[in-house]
Amino acid sequence: MSTVSLSKWRQFLPEIILLNVRWYCRYTLSYRDLEEMMQERGVEVDHSTINRWVLKYAPELDKRIRPYLKPTNDSWRTDETYIKIKGVWKYLYRAVDSEGNTLDFI
């Protein structure tokens, strides 16, 4: 199914819908945060509308991007180190899989 047919008969452009769904799924943003971000960009959208978009389009988005995600295995460990950033010592935590690929970091 194309993006146009998924968002046919919708009030908002497919790009706006996809952007909101992607931001909600990827980042720790609430529906009201997204509503405020869209208002700053001149788009009036209610948080409940964004909720409906996420419920409808997130499974389709997941299905489409799943083949492109880098496969990982179930074996991973946490790597901790202490680094200097702008003259201040900070902890760096990394999740590393068994092949040495970084999965995530804090």
Residue 50 in contact with residue 56, Cβ under 8 Å?
no
pLDDT at 73: 74
Q: Which residue has the higher pLDDT, 73 or 1?
A: 73
Its pTM stands at: 0.59
pLDDT band for position 11 (cuts 50, 70, 90): confident
Q: Locate all alpha helices (DSSP H) within the chain, ordered by sequence.
A: 3-6, 14-26, 31-40, 47-65
The pLDDT tens digits for 68-97 are: 887 767 788 888 888 888 999 998 888 888
pLDDT at 52: 92
CA dist 17 → 13, 42, 45, 52, 85 (Å)? 7, 14, 10, 10, 38
| Statement: residue 99 has pLDDT above 60 | yes
pLDDT band for position 54 (cuts 50, 70, 90): very high
Residue 45, CB-side half-sphere exposure with 13 Å CA sphere? 28
- Whole-angstrom distance, CA of residue 38 vs CA of residue 26: 17
- Whole-angstrom distance, CA of residue 87 vs CA of residue 25: 35
In the chain, what are the domain boundaries? 3-68, 76-105
